[in-house]
Structure 1
Amino acid sequence: MVHEIESPAENAGSGDAQDRIVIAVVRTGGIAGLRRRWRAEPAPEQAPTWLELVERCPWDERLDPDARGADRYVWSIHVRVRDEQLEQVVPDTRLEGAWRELVDAVRDADARSDADADSGA
């Protein structure tokens, strides 16, 4: 597993960096073997909701890769909460429950931030 350190965005104030949550999801695999990346860095007032999503995931669970079928996706999930780094690699067949909710939330947040950037907000 590639260990990526997720840091707050450059525009995050130094005073609130300790309160920041940074979540990155990287999906690899599939037929073309393409790599997709999504990132969420919620505002401090959204932190409780995101912390709940993160804490519901079984970070210590050992998730063995699924050997059934070729070209399956693998999801690498990296979270930085305060000074703590959490990482997990989730096979596509195990992306369910809390893992699916976290990944979907990050993908949605990333899409919203792209739309905001495109609109000049």
Structure 2
Amino acid sequence: MVHEIENAADDAAADGVQDRIVVAVVRTGGIAGLRRRWRAEPAPEQVPTWIELVDRCPWQERLDPDARGADRYVWSIHARVGDEQREQVVPDTRLEGAWRELVDAVRDADAGADADSDADADADRP
């Protein structure tokens, strides 16, 4: 598996903000084997809430892949909190509790960006 490093946006480094947080979720698998990606980089006032979401996840837990059935999703979760990188691969059957809350928060935060890119794609169609 390729390890991805999540970097803060360029303006975060320019502002000197060290407590930035970036969380990315990549879902692979399913019948078509498509890859979806969501990313959240919350505003400074939201950072404490996001740090709590990230800290509640059991990053050190070993999660073996689920062999019960083909075409299941796999969730790769990457978080950068300050200078610390965390990552975990979570089988779909184990996406619950703190993992589900973090993934849902990232997907919700990225929903506006998806809508914008969908609108851009629609504009390119004849």
TM-score by shorter chain over 0.5:
yes
Gaps of 5+ in 1: none
Shift, 1:19, TM fit: 1.5
SS state at 2:12 partner: coil
Distance 2:49 2:29 in 1: 30
How do 1:35-74 residues align onto structure 2 when only pairs under 5 Å count?
Answer: 35-74=35-74
Percent sequence identity over matched residues? 82
- Comparing 107-116 with 36-45, greater Cα deviation is found at 107-116
Letter in 2 for 1:41: E
SS state at 2:32 partner: coil
Per-residue CA deviations over 1:1-43 (Å, capped at 9, x if unaligned) read 3210000123334234411100000000000000000000000
Distance 1:19 1:34 in 2: 33
How much is the aligned-residue C-alpha RMSD, in angstroms? Answer: 1.6
Equivalence for 1:77: 77
Distance 1:34 1:16 in 2: 37
Shift, 1:54, TM fit: 0.3
User: Which one has a bigger Cα radius of gyration?
Assistant: 2
Q: Are residues 1:106 and 2:106 paired? A: yes
Per-residue CA deviations over 1:87-117 (Å, capped at 9, x if unaligned) read 0000000000000000000000000344478
CA pair 61-11 structure 1, distance change in 2 beyond 3 A: same
Distance 1:116 1:52 in 2: 28
Distance 1:37 1:114 in 2: 10
Equivalence for 2:27: 27
Equivalence for 1:11: 11
Distance 2:17 2:34 in 1: 32
> Structure 2 length normalisation: TM-score?
0.87
Gaps of 5+ in 2: 120-126
The answer on whether the counterparts of 1:75 and 1:89 sit within 8 Å (CA) in structure 2 is yes
Distance 2:17 2:36 in 1: 26
The answer on whether the counterparts of 1:79 and 1:85 sit within 8 Å (CA) in structure 2 is yes
How do 1:82-93 residues align onto structure 2 when only pairs under 5 Å count?
Answer: 82-93=82-93
